[in-house]
Structure 1
Amino acid sequence: MHVLILGGTTEGRRLAELLHGRPGLAVTTSLAGRVASPRLPPGEVRVGGFGGTEALTAWLRERRIGALVDATHPFAATMSRHAARAAATAEVPLLALRRPGWTPGEGDDWHEAGSSEEAAALLPALGRRVFLTTGRMGLAAFAGLDDLWFLVRSVDPPEGPRPARAQTLLDRGPFTLDGERELLRRHRIDVVVTKDSGGAATAPKLTAAREAGLPVVVVRRPPLPAGVPVTPTPEAAAHWVTEQWSRTAG
């Protein structure tokens, strides 16, 4: 059985590792290609978009995909919608692999936003020096905040409109708590902006912000398409794939 993993996350890479080399399974991981030097999983890897729902449907049929796992970033809403529609049309079993989101703890000063635009609207009342960790995409939402200073952290250089007063920090997680503490102190950060990506790799900034008494603007995740089953761990996803293979083999 041929399995397609829509990857680009730590969980997707781990799932490929768990499935690679299993008898009776062929595994392909698809990466969007937005990161210049991605960490490649084992097995076959394709890079680049499919070109929409119809093209993905055709690809599933042509490659006779027996199981599809959406292990994209929690904010890759467009790809998740395409995956759900294509899987339904091609009659391919679909599972979403999503790490749990973050939850506020005692001492956290979180301000939830439904979008980057909502996050930008909250900032002037919260601080003047912003640690912006929403990635290199979508910075245009913050471009009009000329009175604020931004430290923008991303894996690759930002593209498109961005804040006028900004410094870019190119870095890739996982990050340490000591490193995040020093970063907030050195740049005199007084407010943090993040997407609810979840996971441990980038969570230390939340602890550092709590310790420093800083407000954090958290952009909520978009919902998954209706009816798509979801699991939080690569191990559970691997078990699901094995079940699909058993049904096919039987």
Structure 2
Amino acid sequence: MTVLLLAGTSEAKRIAWGLTDTGIKVIASLAGATRSPEPMPIPTRIGGFGGEEGFRAFVNAKGVSAVLDATHPFAEHISNRTARVCSELGLPYAQLVRPVWTPETGDNWTAIDAPTDAAALIPEDAVVFLATGRQTLADYADLEGRRVLCRLIDPPTAPFPFEGGEFVIGRPPFSPRSEAQLFQALGVTHLVVKNAGGEGGRAKLDAARALNIPVLMLKRPAMLAGTQLSNVPEALAWVSSLEVRQ
């Protein structure tokens, strides 16, 4: 049995470590969004598959017998394509889906359906910390004219896609205290985030609560129906169940 682990999250790394001593053959795949990703304890490929046909070719060439999708909750294109192809090929497929973040006492959150909703809710003199990732920056072009800050792990290779934008370089993990200090130093008045869930990104929300900064929370995209797992133990158990079924 060969399991393809679509990685890129902290949960994927924990799954990889959990499978190292099981005797199960696992191949991890990283999209390559980070230039120097932390090494995985299992064989790892980096980069895209070259579209659907490239993904099918890889699955066939490596004899992949199941796919465990532990990508980001907003990687809907990759997840939906993978779910559909696995269904067509008759391969077991499961997706680890983190529970969504929910507001706590003191939070000032507004849910938005799309990036284009943000401009109507943020005044023109705002300083916006846009914690939605480099690849979707252009979707927030309606925020032009405000001071917009986007944090990257690696130095940028291209200019900000619209006027008023600045990059901030920083590598996680971040604490609520360090995030609050950063927001205060930058004069942040609004925070825009994807509802990614998980512990890794929670610090900025805790900092926003402490500083009474309004948060615009982008809702998750719809995913194709399939087996969904909510945590790492469930994911490890799912992989183990594949051996029993063989």
Taking structure 1 as the reference length, the TM-score comes to: 0.92
Can you list the C-alpha shifts for 1:35-67, whole angstroms capped at 9, x where unaligned?
A: 111122111101111122233223223322122
Q: Secondary structure at the match of 1:143?
A: helix
Aligned to 1:108: 107
Q: Distance in 2 between matches of 1:33 and 1:233?
A: 24
Partner of 2:21: 21
**1:130 to 2:128 alignment:** yes
8 Å Cα contact 1:180/1:204 also seen in 2: yes
Q: Which residue of 2 aligns with 1:5?
A: 5
Distance 1:210 1:58 in 2: 47
1:207 is aligned to 206
Structure 2 counterparts to residues 142-153 of structure 1, below 5 A? 142-153=140-151
| 1:119 and 1:219 in contact (8 A); partners too | no
- Could you tell me which amino acid in structure 1 is paired with residue 122 of structure 2? L
In structure 2, what is the Cα distance between the partners aligned to 1:213 and 1:235?
35
> 1:161, CA displacement in angstroms?
4.9
User: Is the CA contact (8 Å cut-off) linking 2:160 and 2:166 kept in structure 1?
Assistant: no
Contact kept? 1:57, 1:89, Cα under 8 Å: no
TM value normalised by structure 2: 0.93
Verify the 8 A CA contact 1:120 1:141 in the aligned structure 2. Answer: no
Aligned letter for 1:243? S
Match of 2:77, as an amino acid? Answer: T
Distance 1:19 1:3, change over 3 A: same
Shift of 1:99: 1.8
- Give 3-state SS (helix, strand or coil) of 1:124's partner: coil
| Identity, % of aligned positions | 37
Aligned partner of residue 65 in structure 1, secondary structure: coil
**Counterpart position of 1:234:** 232
Task: Note if contact 2:160-2:167 (Cα within 8 Å) is conserved in structure 1.
Answer: no
The answer on whether the counterparts of 2:145 and 2:163 sit within 8 Å (CA) in structure 1 is no
Question: How far off is 1:192 after superposition?
Answer: 0.6
- Does the 8 Å CA contact 2:116/2:142 hold for their aligned counterparts? no
Q: 1:166: how far off?
A: 2.6
